[in-house]
Chains A and B, each alone.
Chain A
Amino acid sequence: MEHVMTRTIPNTLSTPFKRYFLRWETFLLLVTVLVFFTNTQISPYFLDPWSLSDMTFNFSEKAIIALPMAMLIICREIDLSVASTIALSSVCMGLAAQAGFGIEVIFALSIIVGIGCGLFNGFIVTWFNIPSIVVTIGTMSLFRGITYVILGDTVISDYPPEFAFFGQGYVAWVISFEFTLFMILALVFYVLLHHTNFGRRTYAIGNNPVGALYSGIKVNKHKVVVFALVGAMSGLAAILLTSRLGSTRPGIAFAWELQIVTMVVLGGVSILGGSGTILGVVIAVFLMGLVTFGLGLINVPGIVMNVIIGAMLITVISIPAVLARFRERRRRSV
C-alpha cells in the first residue's frame, strides 16, 4: 500500500540508554517474558520440556516464512500469496510422491515450485509496476485455485515413510527438526539483512526507492530476488507442513498469510517499509507462539485466539503512534 509517509528528524542523537532500552525489541522481550511467566502460573504442564517442544511445532513453519517476509515488507512490498504457494507446493509434492519419485525429488520440487511462485509475483509487480498487495491477492486465488483444480475434494497421502522426518522428527532429545531449521534460518537471515550489502540495499529501497535507484541499486531486480526468497521459504514450509500432517488437501495452510504478516508487523517491521529487524521478528514469533500455546492450555478455542491476536496487533502498533503523538504535543507546548 502506498501511504503518505513522513519522518521527524530528531534534533538530538539518541543516547545509548535510549538506543538499548527504549527499543521495540526490548519492549517485545519484556512482554514475552511476562507471557512466559503467566503461562507457568496458569498451567503446571507448561514447563514440561515435551510440552515446550510441542509448542515449537505450532509456529516454526509460519516463522520460517516470516523471515523473508520481513525483508519484503522492509523493501515496501508484501506477499499475501504465501499460504497458497504452500498449497501449490504441497500438491506438486503429492503428485511426485504418487508418481513414485524419491524423497530428494519431492524436496527439490517443493522448493522449485515455491521459487517459481515467488518469481511470478516479483516479475508481475516489477515489470508492470503494480502494487504487490493487488498482485498477490490475485495470485493468492490463482495458486490456491490451481490446487483445487488438481485435487478437487480429494486428499493425497501416499508419502514415503521417511518423509515424515521433516515435520515430525527430532534432532536431539526434545529439539525438533522444524525448530532447529527455523533457528538456523533466523541466523542466516539475520546475517543477510544486517551484515551484507544485500541487506543494506533492502533498507535503502524501503526508505527511498527513487533515491536507491539513483544510487545505482537495481531496485526491481532486488525486489524480484526477495520475492523469490519468500517463495523458496514457502516451499520449505510446505515440506515441513505436509510432512507433519502426512497429507495434502487443497485447504492446507488456509489464511496463514495473515498470521505471518501479523508476526512480522508485531516484530516491529514498519508496514510502510524501511525499518525493522530480524531479532524483532524472532521475538514476535516466540511471543505469538507463547500466547497461542498458553491460551490453548486453558482451552481457548482457536477463533477466540484470533480475537486476542488481532487486538494485540492493533494495540501494539498503536502504542508507538500514541506515544509519538504525546511527545509531539509536549514538544510543541514548550
Chain B
Amino acid sequence: MSETGAREFESLDGMPSAAAEGLHCLLWALADTKLLLGFHYGEWTFGTPELEAAVASCSLSQSELGHVRLLHAILKKHWNGDPDAIIESRPAAAFANTAYLDQPVDGWPAFVAMNAVVDLAATRVLASLRGSAFKPLRMSVDKMLDEERHHAHHGRGWFRTLGRRGGADAEQLATATGRALGAVAVWLGPPDDPADRALTEAGIRRESSFAVFTALSEDLRQLAAEAGVAMPTAVPVAFAGWNPRTRRNVGARGPADDILFHLRGEANAMFRLGE
C-alpha cells in the first residue's frame, strides 16, 4: 500500500487508463515547465542585481535541468518517450509548459515572479505527488523537493526585497506576479478536469490541481502582505477549449521561436556526437 492508502503501481500495468493518461500529461507538463525554467534561469546567470544572485540563478538552472532528466527518464521507461525527440522535434504548440515562460523574462521583477510563482507552482505539483502510488516517481519526487527548498528561499527573499523597496519595483513585481498567477491557473487546469480526478482517486496524487492552486494563491497572498506588494484580489481565468496534453487553451502558440532555437541548440546541431 502507498502512503495515500491506495494500491501501488510498479509500472502502468493495472493502472486505470484515465489515471495513466493523466499522469503522462502531468509529468510531461512538469518536465516542459522545468525545461523552460532552466533555460530562463540559465539566461539570468548574467544580468542579476548582485553576484550572489547570479550564482544562485545558475544553480537553480542546473537543478531544474537535473529534474528534467529525472522526469524524462520516467517518461522514457514507462511511455517510451524519447528525451531527444521531446525537446528537438515537437512543434512549439505541443509544449506543455506554463505560458509565462513562453517569452523572454524581460526584467528582474519578472524574474522574481517566475521564481516565486511559476517555480513554486511546479514545486507544489511535485509535492502533491509525494508518497505516490506510482512507485517509480517517489524517490525522484523527494530528491526534487529537497532541492526546491532553495528555489523557494530565493524567490521569497527577492519578493520581499523588491516589495520593501516599494515604488516602481513593487508595482512591476505586482503586475508580473498577477500575470504569472494567471498563467499558472490555466496550466494547472479546470477544477473539474477528469484526468486530475482519476489521479487523486488512484492515489497517484494526494491533492488535486485545484487544491494546489488554492494553496499557492494563499502562499502568495501571505507573502505579498508581508512584503507590502499589492496583489490582484482575483485572477481572471478562462478555460476555452483547454487541452489536457498541452495544458493550454485552444490557439495557444507555445514558446517563442527564438527561445526554442536556443533551447534546442539548433545552431550547433552539426556537432552532435554520432551524427
Mutual binders A and B: no
Residues of B within 8 A of A (CB): none
